[in-house]
Structure 1
Amino acid sequence: MILVTGATGNIGGKVLARLRAAGHPVRALTRDPDRAQLPTGIEVVGADLGRPETLPAALDGVRKVFLMSLGADKTVHDANLVAAAGKAGVQHIVQLSTLGVETAAGEGRYPIGDWHRSAEEALRASAVPWTILRPNGFMSMAFAWAPSIRAEGVVRAPVADVPEAVVDPRDVAEAAARVLTSPGHEGAVYSLTGPAGLTVPQQVEIVGQVLGRTLRFETVTLEEQREVMLRYFSAETVDGVIRSIRYVIESGDRLAGTVFDDVRRLLGRAPRSLREWAEDHKDAFLAHSAAGA
């Protein structure tokens, strides 16, 4: 049995679907099974990474775990799952981390990297065999641009001139499924990126070309970005992300634009390009899809 955490999310949901399609027994962990809306036939267990007492039942009979969590609570949530997995006799944990771990200096200037680095350390310190996946930023973050693209033909973001080799979430999920179901990955760390480092204006240009529209890019302040993010995330997480963005702007973060070959090594093919991703998801940016995007 493979337990998938974050099973209703962007990456976890795709991992779950791939494993199920390949015939592997899977169990989806979610805090609210009644609202999960997962496909019929998926075993769903209610548990919360922030409540350790809920985890033993979720791990009963589980051999492998796909572990992901987000935000300022990541260190605690991952450590809770790792501790419970060790007691349950889990044989392998595949943890979703971030490329930013290598940028973090432990000084609080790049909290996103600090959160993930601490979570990695909790996993490495356990007796459970592990594999760590460090993806770059996801191409799907562009979905946040859809409302302003549809309404105004404009994209607003706080970072303009730092290239990032954004990665297709489908490639990340496929890599995770491969690592979970094939031998020889224990103790490995994989850096997952797209095929090219692109600034946000360059990304916007590609999306515009796919849509057949000329899109405009505008820089917003960090305070403006913070106000938008507070609609969706806790203040602690938002403030950590804003500090991280400030660090990227000030430092240039050369690592973010670096292209790694691990997607090709794991999947035997090149990573999908942003143009491919945009072609496959362009309906989300079209006016007629405004109600359901």
Structure 2
Amino acid sequence: MYLVTGATGNIGGKVLDRLHAAGHKVRALTRDPGRARLPAGVDVVAADLGDPATLPAALDGVRKVFLMSLGHNKATHDGNLVAAAEQAGVTQVVQLSTLGVEEVDEEHDTPLGRWHRQAEQALTGSSLGWTILRPNGFMTHALGWAPGIRDASVVRSPIADLPEALVAPEDIADVAVRALTSDGHEGAVYSLTGPEALTTREQVAVLGEVLGRELRFEQMTLEEHHAVLAARYSAQTADGVVKALRTVLESGDDFRGRVFPGIPQALGRPGRTFRQWATENAAAFA
């Protein structure tokens, strides 16, 4: 059986759907099963990565795990799951990390990178088989622009001219499922980006072409962006994300614009371009 954490989220939900559609036995870990809308036939268990006592039951009979968690507690939460998985006889964990871990220059180190680096170390230092996925920023960040596009044909972002080789969550999920269900991925670290780097202004232009309407870009301050994040996440998570953005913007580092080969290596095909992703998801902006 496969256990999927973050099963109601952007990546975990896609991993679960793919495993279930392929006929695998899948269990979804969620803190609130009553609110989870999951496919019929999926085993749903109430558990919390922050509460180790809830994890043994969730891992009973499980052989492989897709592990993802967010925010400043990531190292603790992932460590809890890893420890319980060792006791439960799990054979492999595929962990969602971030490309920021590879920014090892201490001058450019950020809280976000440290949280994920510590979470990776909890897994790689265990007795479990492991595969680590390090995606760049997600193309789905553009979905946050949808209300402004619908209301006023405007996109507001703190990042204007920084090239980013963003990755489609669908491709991340495809790599995760390949690593979980086929041989040859144990001990692998896949750095995942799309096949091109675009600035936010260029993304907005592409999205406007796909939607057939002229969109306007407005740059917001990092303080304004922090307020948006703080409304959705913890204050520490919002602080960490904004600090990482500030470091990148002030340093002029081009790391986020580099194209990495993880998707072709794992899947034997290139990742989606932003135009392909936007075309597939155009209805979300209508």
Both proteins in one fold, TM over 0.5: yes
Aligned CA RMSD, in angstroms, stands at 1.2
Q: Secondary structure at the match of 2:114?
A: helix
Question: Given residue 128 of structure 2, which amino acid in structure 1 is its aligned partner?
Answer: V
Q: Residue 291 of structure 1 corresponds to which residue in structure 2?
A: none
Question: Given residue 237 of structure 2, which amino acid in structure 1 is its aligned partner?
Answer: T
Where in structure 2 are the equivalents of 1:1-293 lying within 5 Å?
Answer: 1-105=1-105, 109-286=109-286
Q: Is the contact made by 1:30 and 1:45 (CA closer than 8 Å) also made in structure 2?
A: yes
After superposition, the C-alpha distances for 1:130-179 in whole angstroms (9 at most, x for unaligned) are 00000111111100000111111111111112111101100000100000
Q: Is the contact made by 2:108 and 2:247 (CA closer than 8 Å) also made in structure 1?
A: no
TM-score by length of 2: 0.97
Question: Given residue 36 of structure 1, which amino acid in structure 2 is its aligned partner?
Answer: A
Question: Given residue 246 of structure 2, which amino acid in structure 1 is its aligned partner?
Answer: R
After superposition, the C-alpha distances for 1:6-27 in whole angstroms (9 at most, x for unaligned) are 0000000000010111111111
Runs of 4+ in structure 1 deviating by more than 6 angstroms, as ranges, are none
How far is 1:58 from its partner? 0.3
Question: Given residue 253 of structure 2, which amino acid in structure 1 is its aligned partner?
Answer: D
Q: Is the contact made by 1:164 and 1:197 (CA closer than 8 Å) also made in structure 2?
A: yes
**Alpha-carbon distance in structure 1 between the residues aligned to 2:254 and 2:211:** 30
Q: Is the contact made by 1:30 and 1:48 (CA closer than 8 Å) also made in structure 2?
A: yes
**Alpha-carbon distance in structure 2 between the residues aligned to 1:243 and 1:176:** 29
Which deviates more from structure 2 when the two are superposed, residues 108-117 or residues 255-264?
108-117
Which deviates more from structure 2 when the two are superposed, residues 106-115 or residues 225-234?
106-115
1:107/1:123 CA distance change after superposition, 3 Å: farther
Q: Secondary structure at the match of 1:180?
A: helix
Q: Is the contact made by 2:63 and 2:90 (CA closer than 8 Å) also made in structure 1?
A: yes
Which deviates more from structure 2 when the two are superposed, residues 109-118 or residues 67-76?
109-118
After superposition, the C-alpha distances for 1:172-192 in whole angstroms (9 at most, x for unaligned) are 001000000001111110011
**Alpha-carbon distance in structure 2 between the residues aligned to 1:78 and 1:106:** 23
**Alpha-carbon distance in structure 1 between the residues aligned to 2:11 and 2:99:** 16
How far is 1:253 from its partner? 3.0
Question: Given residue 12 of structure 1, which amino acid in structure 2 is its aligned partner?
Answer: G
Which deviates more from structure 2 when the two are superposed, residues 188-197 or residues 248-257?
248-257
**Alpha-carbon distance in structure 1 between the residues aligned to 2:242 and 2:192:** 23
Q: Secondary structure at the match of 1:156?
A: strand
Q: Is the contact made by 2:68 and 2:97 (CA closer than 8 Å) also made in structure 1?
A: yes
After superposition, the C-alpha distances for 1:11-69 in whole angstroms (9 at most, x for unaligned) are 00000010111111111000001110111111001100000000000001110000000
1:83/1:105 CA distance change after superposition, 3 Å: farther
Q: Secondary structure at the match of 1:29?
A: strand
Q: Is the contact made by 2:155 and 2:215 (CA closer than 8 Å) also made in structure 1?
A: yes
How far is 1:252 from its partner? 2.5
How far is 1:239 from its partner? 0.8
**Alpha-carbon distance in structure 1 between the residues aligned to 2:104 and 2:75:** 14
**Alpha-carbon distance in structure 2 between the residues aligned to 1:252 and 1:99:** 17
How far is 1:105 from its partner? 4.5
**Alpha-carbon distance in structure 2 between the residues aligned to 1:36 and 1:265:** 33
Q: Residue 289 of structure 1 corresponds to which residue in structure 2?
A: none
Equivalent pairs counted in the alignment come to: 286
Q: Is the contact made by 2:124 and 2:130 (CA closer than 8 Å) also made in structure 1?
A: yes
Question: Given residue 28 of structure 1, which amino acid in structure 2 is its aligned partner?
Answer: A
TM-score by length of 1: 0.95
After superposition, the C-alpha distances for 1:87-137 in whole angstroms (9 at most, x for unaligned) are 111100000000010115467951111111110011111010100000111
Q: Is the contact made by 2:135 and 2:172 (CA closer than 8 Å) also made in structure 1?
A: yes
Q: Is the contact made by 1:108 and 1:114 (CA closer than 8 Å) also made in structure 2?
A: no
Question: Given residue 238 of structure 2, which amino acid in structure 1 is its aligned partner?
Answer: V
**Alpha-carbon distance in structure 1 between the residues aligned to 2:252 and 2:67:** 30
**Alpha-carbon distance in structure 1 between the residues aligned to 2:108 and 2:84:** 28
How far is 1:219 from its partner? 1.1
Q: Secondary structure at the match of 2:281?
A: helix
Q: Which runs of 5+ in 1 are unaligned?
A: 287-293
Q: Is the contact made by 1:171 and 1:272 (CA closer than 8 Å) also made in structure 2?
A: yes
